[in-house]
Structure 1
Amino acid sequence: MITAARSVSSEETSARTALKLGPKSIAERLRNLVLETSPTMPAIERYTGVLYDPLDAPAADASTRAWWDRHVIVQSAMFGPIGAGDLIPAYRLSHDSRLPGVRLASHWPAPAGAALAARAPGLVLDLRSEGYRSLGPVPDAVPLRVVSVGGDGRRKALNHWNKTAKGRLVSLLARTGAAVSSMAELTAWAAAHGVVVEPVGDGWDLVAESLEPVSV
């Protein structure tokens, strides 16, 4: 994966197409050229954006970090399933990037799925987007659909802002030291902290408004 990313990132034209980079982000291709010598930091701090901002990882205390290290796995397009505390360099690669000779959707599922299957037994909440979920399938995982509930009671699935709710959920789980091993225990924990997680049809909904703001 590193070799393919380095190859496609060595020239602006190929990087722009393969990595979907614009004029303002084209310089990010250079990260892939120095992956093996770049400084590293814990994955939970490396990633940024609306999913990770609610975690406020740099300010997290030792117990919160320990919870993340035990429970949180991130699906990386470059490195596969990685722990929250795993040290990684900066890189540019997404689940839909197109690399020469390597198709991510074919390369990752078998090894990533095997690695995830070897995890400790217990409840697995799958908060990944559909694209990243396909890179490492977990048959017994429970995906959460993030919804917004209007004044009339109607539910609307959120798109971009569902990431914020997921980040707030993981933040609260860690900061309360949650110990849950089933959906029954998760819903009990959620109720105790004012979070709405409930079964709807054959799936589970997380109500975004119940996580605004997060308080412990």
Structure 2
Amino acid sequence: MLVLLPPSEGKASSGRGAPLKTESLSLPGLTPAREAVLGELVELCAGDEEKAREVLGLSEGLRGEVAKNAELRSAGARPAGEIYTGVLYDALDLASLDAAAKKRATRSLLVFSGLWGAVRINDRIPSYRCSMGVKLPGIGALGAYWRTPMAAVLPEAAGDGLVLDLRSSAYAAAWKPKGEVAGRTASVRVLHAPTRKVVSHFNKATKGRIVRSLLAAGAAPKGPAELVEALRELGYVVEVEPPKGAGKAWMLDVLVDEIH
């Protein structure tokens, strides 16, 4: 099972670990693209601060993120699972999983990123600010930029098992499973049962809990149908929209009564 996650906008501090080595990150086929984005981001943020803040879409209160980006090559690095915070990652709570579940998380979780493309939770990265919606002056829109390198690398990473896609739309733009891989991909929406509406905060928290439940239970669904069965056994209410034709992803709606 490969679980595709969005990153978090807010991130923990880099800490005092050894600096980033892009060649040590998972999915080495993405290294040239990572170096290109990293190089342009560092150059942008080391130059005109106002221009960098505009390009990155940062408010006045986040001005300090520009200086942080300028130091990415020398900043300390920590496992990505410790860097990413926020609602989904708080609910997932990787640190409190037992040893076996943590190993499953290391194998299964892939976090998408405007800067790195995608990383595993044990990849050591510095804290940064660069969403997939950013349009860098030289490279252009990152969502479009990542499509080519991702298309070359992600099918192999997906292997021959289930792909559970929990990304937001901005990050889903960077790689869309196709063909045979799409047929064993399941995307999940979390809906407030009485209204059938998506609630953003609650959506993220529930997705974090879903991943945690699967990891803690040692669930290993081989495809979307098995995933539906596993989620129902774990107590989730799931409605299924079967794929409309070959090479199409499944859509699962997880219904919840309380918004918290």
1:144 alignment partner AA = V
Equivalent-residue separation in structure 2 for 1:65 and 1:37 (angstroms)? 28
Look up the equivalent residue of 1:182 and give its one-letter code: G
Segments of structure 1 that go 5 or more residues without pairing to the other structure are none
**Counterpart residue number, 1:204:** 252
1:39 to 76, 81, 86: 76
Amino acid at match of 1:124: V
The CA deviation at 1:201 is 6.5
* Runs of 4+ more than 6 Å apart: none
Which runs of 5 or more structure 2 residues have no equivalent in the other structure?
A: 1-36, 244-250
**Secondary structure of the corresponding residue to residue 30 of structure 1:** helix
Partner-residue secondary structure (3-state), 2:192: strand
Are 2:114 and 2:130, in contact at CA under 8 Å, matched by a contact in 1? yes
The aligned residue for residue 223 of structure 2 is: 182
2:226 maps to amino acid: E
- Kindly indicate whether the alpha-carbon contact (under 8 Å) linking 2:40 and 2:138 is maintained by their aligned counterparts in 1: yes
Alignment correspondent of 1:116: 154
- Return the offset for 1:157: 2.4
1:9 match: secondary structure: helix
Alignment of 1:133-148 (within 5 A): 133-139=172-178, 140=182, 141-148=185-192
Instruction: Kindly report which structure 2 residues correspond to 1:27-66, keeping only aligned pairs within 5 A, or say none.
Output: 27-66=64-103
Conserved in 1, the CA contact under 8 Å of 2:132 and 2:170? yes
**Deviations 1:179-198, CA, capped at 9 Å, x for gaps:** 11112211221121111222
Amino acid at match of 1:17: E
Tell me the residue number matched to 2:25.
Answer: none
Aligned to 1:24, what secondary structure does the other structure show? Answer: helix
Structure 1 residue 149 and structure 2 residue 193: aligned? yes
SS at match of 1:73: strand
Answer yes or no: is the 8 Å Cα contact 1:15–1:26 preserved in 2: no
- Aligned AA (2:147): P
Query: Which deviates further from its counterpart, 75-84 or 157-166?
Result: 157-166
Question: Whose RCO is larger (CA < 8 A, sep 6+)?
Answer: 2
Distance of 1:209 and 1:71 partners within structure 2: 29
- In the alignment, is residue 127 of structure 1 matched against residue 171 of structure 2? no
Asked if 2 retains the 8 angstrom alpha-carbon contact of 1:77 and 1:95, the reply is yes
- The RMSD of aligned alpha carbons is 1.9
Matched AA of 1:135: A
* Alpha-carbon distance in structure 1 between the residues aligned to 2:166 and 2:217: 19
Distance in 2, Cα, partners of 1:6 & 1:63: 38
Instruction: Tell me what 2:60 maps to.
Output: 23
> What is the percent sequence identity of the aligned residues?
34
Number of residue equivalences: 209
Q: TM-score, normalised by structure 1?
A: 0.89
Alpha-carbon separation, structure 2, partners of 1:74 and 1:129: 11
Q: 1:105 to 1:184 in 2, by over 3 A?
A: closer
What displacement does 1:50 show? 0.8
Instruction: Indicate conservation of the 8 Å contact 1:76/1:82, yes or no.
Output: yes
Q: Does 1:92 align with 2:136?
A: no
Report the Cα offset of residue 59 of structure 1.
2.8
Deviation at 1:60, TM superposition (A): 2.8
